[in-house]
């Protein structure tokens, strides 16, 4: 009984450096931001979400995007393009304002699809959850071909 307890503590202390204080992996949060070329996952950082669900006209295809009604709409449901406007979801505080081009997508067991974007102005990679529900859902026929583009090639 004592040996099992000691073994448990030893294994736990051995793996402790691989986990952050919040219980996440080192690929999350501040670590991810410090690694060049790492995809910044907004969902892993501290939640600073601001709902901003206004309609807009897509600067790439000209589609009149309606408010989603579920969350902050930040990309066109037809061509999936976006603008590099948020630092935190919905804040519209990023000065870059470049066009975010969808370059890949990956299935996510809880979120449906994650769309991977590259900013045409600053080159930053960014990922965002596809809006598969709501008033004007994303076009799945545009998302599916993006899943064939491997992230390693980006």
What residue segments make up the domains of the chain, in order of their start?
1-37, 39-153
> Of 106, 111, 109, which is closest to residue 146 (Cα–Cα)?
106
> Of 74, 78, 84, which is closest to residue 125 (Cα–Cα)?
84
Q: List the beta strands (DSSP E) in 5-61.
A: 56-57
- pLDDT tens for 58-116 read 999 999 998 877 667 789 999 999 999 888 877 888 999 999 999 999 998 887 899 99
Give the Cα-Cα-Cα angle 74, 65, 148 (nearest 5 degrees).
60
Question: How many angstroms separate the CA atoms of 148 and 153, rounded?
Answer: 11
Q: Which residue has the higher pLDDT, 147 or 8?
A: 147
pTM for the predicted model, two decimal places = 0.64
């Amino acid at each position: 009984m004592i040996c099992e307890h000691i073994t448990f503590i030893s294994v736990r202390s051995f793996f402790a450096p691989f986990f952050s204080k919040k219980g996440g992996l080192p690929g999350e949060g501040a670590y991810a931001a410090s690694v060049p070329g790492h995809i910044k996952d907004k969902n892993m950082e501290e939640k600073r979400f601001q709902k901003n669900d206004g309609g807009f006209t897509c600067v790439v295809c000209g589609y009149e995007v309606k408010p989603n009604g579920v969350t902050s709409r930040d990309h066109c449901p037809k061509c999936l393009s976006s603008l590099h406007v948020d630092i935190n979801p919905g804040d519209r505080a990023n000065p870059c304002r470049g066009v975010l081009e969808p370059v890949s997508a990956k299935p996510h067991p809880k979120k449906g699809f994650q769309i991977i974007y590259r900013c045409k102005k600053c080159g930053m990679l960014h990922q965002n959850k596809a809006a598969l529900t709501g008033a004007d859902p994303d076009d799945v026929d545009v998302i599916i071909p993006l899943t064939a583009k491997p992230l390693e090639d980006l």
